[in-house]
């Protein structure tokens, strides 16, 4: 996979540090190996890992994945919302990685393992080999409605409608404190935190990208939480989590952007041990007609809502 982009940064920084913050799936040492193998060029010239990148540089990065043979098919229990010869729609549990990531047992118990087992040879020949048929990049600790293509034509179609924003994505979240505005729009630039490559930020981000989120308040919970319905116009990494945290309403039990004291309280009272965010609805045009997919809210979030008689 080849990435071409122009940098937008305030001050110069080492290219390996910049790229490891931008591509957080890869360690800094892996980025350095890519540079050593001439997979990175700046302004059309291959470079060394200690080169400093500056504003308005043209960056070309060629990522090659060589681990597919190490990813084995694996039977797992997933909630299938819809399936035909071209497409699968799943309601993914929180706590399951979508694709292999560096670490112990990196190639086990992921959605990719299940896809390779469930679909066998009925998968697209295109796209990144570590994510066969999967076009979403999803947080491990969020429950999700996720689409998986089983053919090249469906893969291309889904990628195209997502790129052109011809799909509506809706979420349910429980946030700390009471949001006074019943409806609101957040529009800001977000991307990598220059001081922590594992986080996104709305404050001086690396290579900022516009992000737009809408919310509607559904109900207040115990006079200190808010149940909200959200729609995203853009699909930036951690977008909803960063946006809500940036205006003072972090998602309950968000260990990266949330409130530690509130998270501990939620874990004790409701046995909630992951961020209270669920992607529950996708609206799109499929097979020449309007289609809506919905995924039931998971039990750990239901406990908080049911206790108050909201649903």
**Domain final residue, candidates 164, 193, 214:** 164
CATH assignment of the domain containing 54: 3.10.290.10
Interval 6-27: pLDDT, tens:
888 888 888 988 887 787 656 6
> Can you list the positions of beta strands (E) in the chain?
2-6, 13-14, 40-42, 45-46, 52-53, 58-62, 79-83, 87-92, 144-149, 167-176, 183-193, 196-201, 206-221, 225-232, 277-286, 289-294
Examine residue 291 and state whether it is found in any structural domain, yes or no.
no
Residues 179 and 275 in one domain: yes
Is 139 a catalytic site residue? yes
Residues 129 and 181 in one domain: no
Residues 89 and 154 in one domain: yes
Examine residue 290 and state whether it is found in any structural domain, yes or no.
no
Tell me which residue range forms the domain holding 8.
2-62
Interval 100-153: pLDDT, tens:
766 666 678 889 889 989 988 777 754 455 567 787 767 889 998 999 999 878
Distance CA 258, CA 245 (A): 7
Examine residue 153 and state whether it is found in any structural domain, yes or no.
yes
Mean pLDDT of the chain: 86
Interval 173-216: pLDDT, tens:
999 999 989 999 999 999 888 888 779 999 988 888 999 999 99
Of 139, 141, 254, 300, which residue is the catalytic one? Answer: 139
* Lookup: tokens for 173: 């979240």
Residues 51 and 72 in one domain: no
Interval 153-173: pLDDT, tens:
888 789 889 888 899 999 999
Into how many domains does the chain fold?
Answer: 3
Identify the burial level of 28 via C-beta atoms within 10 angstroms of its C-beta, where 0-12 means exposed, 13-18 middle and 19 or more buried.
Answer: middle
Of 25-29, 85-89, 99-103, the range with the highest mean pLDDT is: 85-89
Contacts of 4 (CB under 8 A, 6+ apart): 58, 59, 60, 61
The 8-class DSSP code of residue 51 comes to P
Distance CA 197, CA 292 (A): 35
Residues 194 and 155 in one domain: no
In this structure, how many other beta carbons lie within 10 angstroms of the beta carbon of residue 70? 9
* Lookup: tokens for 196: 């922590």
**Domain final residue, candidates 164, 183, 215:** 164
Examine residue 295 and state whether it is found in any structural domain, yes or no.
no
Residues 22 and 40 in one domain: yes
Residues 75 and 135 in one domain: yes
Residue 70's pLDDT band (boundaries 50, 70, 90)? low
**Domain final residue, candidates 132, 164, 196:** 164
Residues 137 and 226 in one domain: no
Cβ(165)–Cβ(233) below 8 Å = yes
Examine residue 287 and state whether it is found in any structural domain, yes or no.
no
């Amino acid at each position: 996979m080849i990435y071409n982009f122009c940098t937008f940064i305030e001050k110069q920084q080492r290219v390996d540090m910049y790229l490891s913050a931008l591509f957080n799936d890869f360690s800094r040492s892996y980025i350095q190996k890519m540079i050593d193998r001439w997979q990175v060029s700046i302004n059309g010239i291959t470079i060394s890992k200690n080169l400093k990148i500056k504003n308005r540089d043209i960056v070309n990065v060629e990522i090659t994945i060589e681990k597919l043979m190490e990813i084995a098919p694996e039977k797992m229990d997933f909630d299938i919302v819809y399936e035909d010869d071209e497409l699968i729609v799943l309601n993914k549990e929180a706590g399951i990685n979508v694709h292999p990531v560096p670490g112990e047992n990196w190639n086990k118990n992921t959605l990719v393992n299940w896809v390779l087992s469930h679909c066998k040879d009925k998968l697209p020949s295109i796209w990144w080999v570590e994510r066969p048929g999967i076009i979403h990049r999803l947080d491990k600790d969020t429950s999700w409605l996720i689409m998986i293509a089983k053919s090249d034509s469906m893969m291309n179609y889904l990628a195209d409608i997502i790129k052109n924003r011809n799909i509506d994505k809706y979420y349910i979240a429980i946030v700390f404190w009471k949001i006074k505005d019943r409806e609101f729009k957040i529009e800001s630039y977000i991307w990598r935190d220059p001081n922590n490559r594992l986080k996104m930020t709305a404050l001086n981000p690396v290579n900022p990208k516009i992000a737009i989120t809408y919310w509607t308040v559904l109900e207040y919970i115990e006079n200190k939480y808010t149940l909200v319905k959200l729609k995203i116009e853009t699909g930036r990494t951690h977008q909803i989590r960063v946006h809500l945290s940036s205006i003072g309403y972090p998602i309950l039990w968000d260990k990266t952007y949330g409130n530690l004291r509130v998270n501990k309280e939620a874990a004790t009272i409701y046995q909630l041990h992951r961020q209270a965010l669920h992607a529950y609805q996708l609206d799109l045009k499929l097979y020449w007609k309007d289609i809506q997919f919905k995924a039931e809210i998971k039990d750990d979030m239901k406990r908080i809502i049911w206790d108050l008689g909201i649903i």
